[in-house]
Amino acid sequence: MQKFLIPAVMVAAALSCQAPKPQEPEPMKPQKIVVYQVFTRLFGNTNSNNKPWGTKEENGVGKFNDFTDTALEEINKLGVSHIWYTGVPHHGVIGDFPEIDVSSDDPDVIKGRAGSPYAVRDYYQVNPDLAMDVTKRMEEFEALIARTQKHGMKVIIDIVPNHVSRHYEGKNNPKGVNDFGADDDTSVEYARDNNFYYIPGEAFQVPEPKNGYKPLGGEKHPLADGKFDENPAKWTGNGSRLAQPDFYDWYETVKINYGIKPDGSKDFEELPAGADSLDWKKHYEFWQGKDVPDSWKKFKDITQFWLDKGVDGFRFDMAEMVPVEFWSYLNSYIKNTKPDAFLMAEVYQPALYRDYLWKGKMDYLYDKVELYDTLKNIIYGHGSTDNLPAIFESQRDIEHHMLHFLENHDEQRIASPEFAGNPWKAMPAMVVSATVSTSPTMIYFGQEVGEPGAEDAGFGDPSRTSIFDYIGVPQHQKWMNGGKFDGGQLSENEKALRNYYAEMLNFTRNSPALMGEYMELHSFNRKQNPAYTDKVFAFARWDESQKLIVVTNFDEFQSVKTTLKLSPELLKAWNLQPGEREIKELMFGKKKTMLRVTDEGAEIDLDFGPWESAVFEVK
C-alpha cells in the first residue's frame, strides 16, 4: 500500500474542506484555465493484473465510454476547464481488427504493445482500442466530445505535425484527400511537395537493439523478424538521415517535409517584416493565394476535420521541429474557423518562445525548461527559490502564454521514488505554479491522488506511467472505485491530497486577482531578513477587487517563524493605510495572521510548517 508522510496541518485543512461545487454556468471573465491531461487508453481500465508486455486481454484497456457522466462531473469538480484526451488519433498498435480491415503493425517499428500515441497511423480515425464497437469508434468519440462539453469542459486532442507512423495508412481520408507520400517522387532526397524525405538507393533497416531489448519482450510474432519493408528508406522522425537509425532515435516514425531543404534553407515564402505584431486575421490574409508545400495543406485539412467533429483545440507535439511559418498558416486557418480554439504546444527552447507565440500564433507553450525544471530542482531539495524571480521577470511580456505543470506523460510522476517520493512534497511548487501568473495550469490524471508510476509495463522504465503498453494505474484505479468515481478505495491521506488539489484549482479558477497584477516579494525579503530563507517564496497578486499575498515553504524539515515585509512598491500600488489588521487564508480558510502597516513599512507574521502554503487576502 502507498503510504505518505504528510504534515498534519495540511491533512486537517484538506479533509475539512467541502467537496467543491461545479463551476457556475456563466463563470466570471477573464478566468484562469485548468487543463486535465488524461491518457485516454488508461483512464477507465479497472484491470490490475499489470503483466509486463501484457495484452489488452491480460491487462485491460480503457474506453471512450468509461468517461461517464459521473466521471466527467468529478473531473469538473476538480476545477477543470479543459480535458486533453491524449492518444485519440489512430496510431500504430499490435493486433488485428478484421471488422474494420485494419491489420497489426509490425512490432519491429512499434514501441510497446499498445503503441505510441505519437506515431499516428491514420489522422482521419480514432484509436480502435478505445471503442466498445470498433465499427462505431468515431461515433463513440463524438459522443464523448458532446458529454465533455455538456459538463462545461472543452476538448483538446493531439496533433503531431513533425512525424507520422512508419506504417501510415489513411483508410478513412475524406474525398479528394490523398495519403501522405502517395504523390511523392521517391527517387530524390527532397522535393518541396514531397511529404517525406528519402534516402534513394537504400532500404530501411530496423535499428540494432540495445540493453537486451526484444520486441514484445521476446514473444513470438509473425512480423517480429527484425525486418520492415521500406524502400527507399525515409528520414526518421527526430531527423536521423540514416537508413538504419539508432535504437534511441524515434525509429517508429518518419519525418514530415515542410519545405525545409536538407541544407536547412526554406522553400516557401517567409512572413513579412513586423509579422510578430499582426493578429491571426492578418496572418490568415497573408496566406491567401500563396503557394505552400503540400504537407502544410494536409495538416490544415486534418485540423479542419477535427474542428468539424467538435473538438475545441489542439496540443501540438514538438512544435519547434516544424517551421514557424507553417504554424502561422495552420493556426490562422484554425482561428478563422474557430476563433476561440485552444492551441498549446511543446517548445523547449526559450529563445524561440516569442517567435512561436507572435509569429506562429500559438496560444500557450510549455514552461518546461525554465519553471518546471527549476521547481523540480527545489522539490528535490537542492534547488533555491532565489532562482524563481528571474524566470518570472524574463517572461513578463509572455507570462499569460506559458502553460504551467508539474506532471505530464513525458515527465516523472511526483510520487515516484525517482522524483519526490511523496506527493505532498510538491504542493508548495504546485501552489506557486498555479497562482503566480495568469497562465493555464495543467495536471496529469492520477497526479491528484499520488500516482507513482511504478509499473514495469514493458517498453520504457518505471517512474512515468507507460504510454506504450496496456497497464493499470493503481492510485487512479482506487479513485475510480470500479467505475463509481467516488474515491471509495482511497486512504484518508489520499483523499486529503485530492481535496487539496480541488480546493486549490477551484480557487485559482474563481479568484479575480489571479488574472491581475503580480509583484514578487522574495528578493526584498531576502535582503531584509536572514530568517526568510531560500526555501520560502512569497509574492502578491491583485486586481481592483481583490488583493492577495501568497507564501510557500518548500522546506521538508524546517518551519518558518518570522515576518514577511511588504515592499515600498507594493505599499504604493495598494495604497495601504497605517494600522493593524487580521488577514485570513482564502483557500482552506484556516490560517490567520496579522498585517501591520506603519509609516516605516508593513509586515506580516509568518508561522508556517514544512511544505505549508497559504493565500492571504488583504482588505
Report phi then psi at 310, rounded to 5: 110, 0
Domain at 526, CATH number: 2.60.40.1180
In this structure, is residue 406 part of a structural domain? yes
Q: Are residues 467 and 600 in the same domain?
A: no
In this structure, is residue 533 part of a structural domain? yes
Q: Under a CB-based contact definition with an 8 Å cutoff, are residues 353 and 397 in contact?
A: no
Q: Are residues 469 and 601 in the same domain?
A: no
Task: Give the C-alpha distances (Å, rounded to integers) separating 9 from 557, 563, 573, 582.
Answer: 14, 20, 33, 20
Report phi then psi at 220, rounded to 5: -70, 140
Angle between helices 280-287 and 324-337 (to 10 degrees): 110
Is pLDDT at 53 greater than 70 in this prediction? yes
DSSP code, position 515: G
Residue 588: predicted pLDDT? 87
Q: Under a CB-based contact definition with an 8 Å cutoff, are residues 163 and 255 in contact?
A: yes
C-alpha cell at 9: 496541518
Q: Are residues 475 and 445 in the same domain?
A: yes
Question: From CA 250, how far away is CA 237, in angstroms rounded?
Answer: 6
Question: From CA 305, how far away is CA 328, in angstroms rounded?
Answer: 19
Angle between helices 294-309 and 324-337 (to 10 degrees): 30
Question: From CA 361, how far away is CA 578, in angstroms rounded?
Answer: 47
C-alpha cell at 239: 531527423
In this structure, is residue 124 part of a structural domain? no
Q: Under a CB-based contact definition with an 8 Å cutoff, are residues 439 and 433 in contact?
A: no
Least confident piece of the model among 6-15, 47-56, 424-433: 6-15
Is pLDDT at 29 greater than 70 in this prediction? no
Q: Mapping DSSP to helix (H, G, I), strand (E, B) and coil, where does residue 242 land?
A: coil
Residue of 46, 73, 74 lying closest to 61 (CA atoms): 46
Question: Over the range 567-593, which residues count as b (16 or more CB within 10 Å of their CB) and which as e?
Answer: beebeeebebeeeeeebebbbbeebeb
Q: Are residues 439 and 522 in the same domain?
A: no
Least confident piece of the model among 24-38, 156-170, 210-224: 24-38
pLDDT digit string, tens, across residues 106-145: 999 999 999 999 999 999 999 999 999 999 999 999 999 9
Q: Are residues 446 and 551 in the same domain?
A: no
- The residues with which 198 forms a beta bridge, in sequence order, are 234
Name 183's Cβ contacts closer than 8 Å, sequence gap at least 6.
193, 294
C-alpha cell at 415: 510520487
Q: Are residues 321 and 411 in the same domain?
A: yes
Tell me which residue range forms the domain holding 572.
513-618
pLDDT > 90 fraction of the chain, expressed in percent and rounded:
94
In this structure, is residue 145 part of a structural domain? yes
For the segment 190-218, the average pLDDT, to the nearest whole number, is: 97
Of the three residues 510, 544, 562, the one that is the final residue of a domain is 510
Which residue bears the cell 532562482? 387
For the segment 95-113, the average pLDDT, to the nearest whole number, is: 97
Is pLDDT at 376 greater than 50 in this prediction? yes
Q: Are residues 453 and 317 in the same domain?
A: yes
Q: Under a CB-based contact definition with an 8 Å cutoff, are residues 61 and 114 in contact?
A: yes
Q: Are residues 469 and 560 in the same domain?
A: no
Is pLDDT at 4 greater than 80 in this prediction? no
Domain at 372, CATH number: 3.20.20.80
Band (pLDDT 50/70/90 cuts) for residue 13 is low
Residue 1: predicted pLDDT? 40
Least confident piece of the model among 20-24, 518-522, 554-558: 20-24
Q: Under a CB-based contact definition with an 8 Å cutoff, are residues 490 and 498 in contact?
A: yes
Residue 16: predicted pLDDT? 55
In this structure, is residue 108 part of a structural domain? no
pLDDT digit string, tens, across residues 179-203: 999 999 999 999 999 999 999 999 9
Is pLDDT at 21 greater than 90 in this prediction? no
Q: What is the dihedral of CA 9, 10, 16, 22, to 10 degrees?
A: 160
Count CB-CB contacts under 10 A for residue 117. 24
C-alpha cell at 3: 503510504
Q: Are residues 443 and 536 in the same domain?
A: no
Question: From CA 11, how far away is CA 7, in angstroms rounded?
Answer: 7
Number of domains in the chain: 2
pLDDT digit string, tens, across residues 355-372: 999 999 999 999 999 999
Of the three residues 510, 535, 564, the one that is the final residue of a domain is 510
pLDDT digit string, tens, across residues 265-314: 999 999 999 999 999 999 999 999 999 999 999 999 999 999 999 999 99
Is pLDDT at 597 greater than 80 in this prediction? yes
In this structure, is residue 180 part of a structural domain? no
Name 178's Cβ contacts closer than 8 Å, sequence gap at least 6.
none
Residue 8: predicted pLDDT? 56
Q: Are residues 493 and 589 in the same domain?
A: no
For the segment 27-40, the average pLDDT, to the nearest whole number, is: 88
Q: Are residues 499 and 554 in the same domain?
A: no
Residue 25: predicted pLDDT? 47
Residue of 441, 469, 466 lying closest to 453 (CA atoms): 466
Residue 10: predicted pLDDT? 62
Is pLDDT at 460 greater than 80 in this prediction? yes
Of the three residues 478, 510, 542, the one that is the final residue of a domain is 510
Band (pLDDT 50/70/90 cuts) for residue 17 is low
* DSSP codes joined into one string, 562-608: EEEEEPHHHHHHHTPPSEEEEEEESSSS--EEEEEEETTEEEEEEEE
* DSSP codes joined into one string, 443-488: EETTGGGT-------SSS-TTS--SSS----HHHHHHHGGGT-S-T
- The residues with which 553 forms a beta bridge, in sequence order, are 536
Question: From CA 613, how far away is CA 587, in angstroms rounded?
Answer: 10
Residue 2: predicted pLDDT? 46
Residue of 436, 615, 616, 590 lying closest to 11 (CA atoms): 590
Q: Are residues 394 and 413 in the same domain?
A: yes
Sheet with 560-566, side-by-side order of all strands: 517-520, 536-542, 547-553, 613-617, 579-585, 592-598, 601-608, 560-566
In this structure, is residue 85 part of a structural domain? yes
Q: Under a CB-based contact definition with an 8 Å cutoff, are residues 320 and 351 in contact?
A: no
| Length of the chain, in residues | 619
Report phi then psi at 130, rounded to 5: -90, 0
Question: From CA 485, how far away is CA 492, in angstroms rounded?
Answer: 16
For the segment 490-500, the average pLDDT, to the nearest whole number, is: 98
Residue 30: predicted pLDDT? 87
In this structure, is residue 3 part of a structural domain? no
Is pLDDT at 27 greater than 50 in this prediction? no
Mean pLDDT of the chain: 95
